Amino acid sequence: MTGIISHADEKRLVLVSGRAHPELAREVAASLGIEMVHTTAYDFANGEIYVRYAESVRGADVFVLQSHTAPINQWIMEHLIMVDALKRASAKTITVVLPFYGYARQDKKHKGREPISARLMADLFKTAGADRLMSVDLHTSQIQGYFDGPVDHLWAQPILIDYVRSRVDISNVTVVSPDAGRIRVAEQWAAKLGGGPLAFVHKTRDTSRPNQAVANRVVGDVEGKSCILVDDLIDTGGTIAGAVRVVLEAGAKEVIVAATHGVLSDPAAQRLSESGAREVVVTDTLPIAADKRFPQLTVLSIAPLLARAIREVFDDGSVTNLFDGNA
């Protein structure tokens, strides 16, 4: 039978995956040393989704992994249906693993009569039967409070920092936030890279026009520095490309962009490849198709982190200890 059996033969870990990012699921399974339970999933002619598991999951601790990539609404619906199927198949516990939390940017109201869609997402998974959520680098930490149950908020920062440290002279680094709201994250990066200076890009955004922001100027010392521009996600690339431009215009020696989630909606690949950034580093929380890749892009694997967190949850260990007690 597929899965990990605990020493006491009382617990069984099962990993299942949707169709959005099967490569990541296979890497997580390999890191855990198991095989995934085979899942039959297909679409009816009208777009409705069918899901069935090939073997029993009764009494198992099941981790159901799905990346919320485009077309995002289809994969979220499939994720919900998979959870419902597990609940009706008498799984003991159901942990929803969403490396990228869909609708996370809609976490508050900017204007009247707007939804808080990130909260709706949490409610949907709870209603479907989820006992626990696990995600990587939420857009804002407050999203953890939207779900009525445990939420494991994983950080990709150690993976990104280890890579970036090997690419720059850390004695000449300035960490740059793309806006004032990400300063705390930039401070954490700077501390891990030797305590160098911080800077941020002052930008303006019209909340009535999605995916559009204007980078105005840099606040902080970047002249002659290797600048690490950090963010949680890159969607169309306009904000990051504009930030790279103003940082270079302010006299930076070079700019490396580091972000967890590579959404890379069109025309992100073109914008980033022409931005002047030396390198753009993301993880594979989302699949990145060949037509979205460009020479400066580096993609790091998030699978080992997910596998370690899944094992800690299964063994009743500490996910926080994976991040030196700071998660």
- Of 21, 88, 78, nearest to 44 by C-alpha is 78
3-state secondary structure of 230: strand
203 labelled catalytic: yes
For residue 15, give the nearest of 58, 48, 61 by alpha carbon: 61
Question: How many residues are there in the chain?
Answer: 327
Concatenating the DSSP letter of every residue in 208-260 gives TSTT-EEEEEEEE--TT-EEEEEEEEESSSHHHHHHHHHHHHTT-SEEEEEEE
The C-alpha torsion from 63 through 87 and 77 to 15, rounded to 10°, is 20
Q: Which of 203, 225, 253, 292 is catalytic?
A: 203
Residue 272, CA distances (Å) to 181, 244, 293 in order: 22, 9, 10
Element (H, E) at 86: helix 72-88
d(CA 215, CA 291): 27
What is the Cα–Cα distance from 28 to 314, expressed in whole angstroms?
14
Catalytic positions, please?
Answer: 203
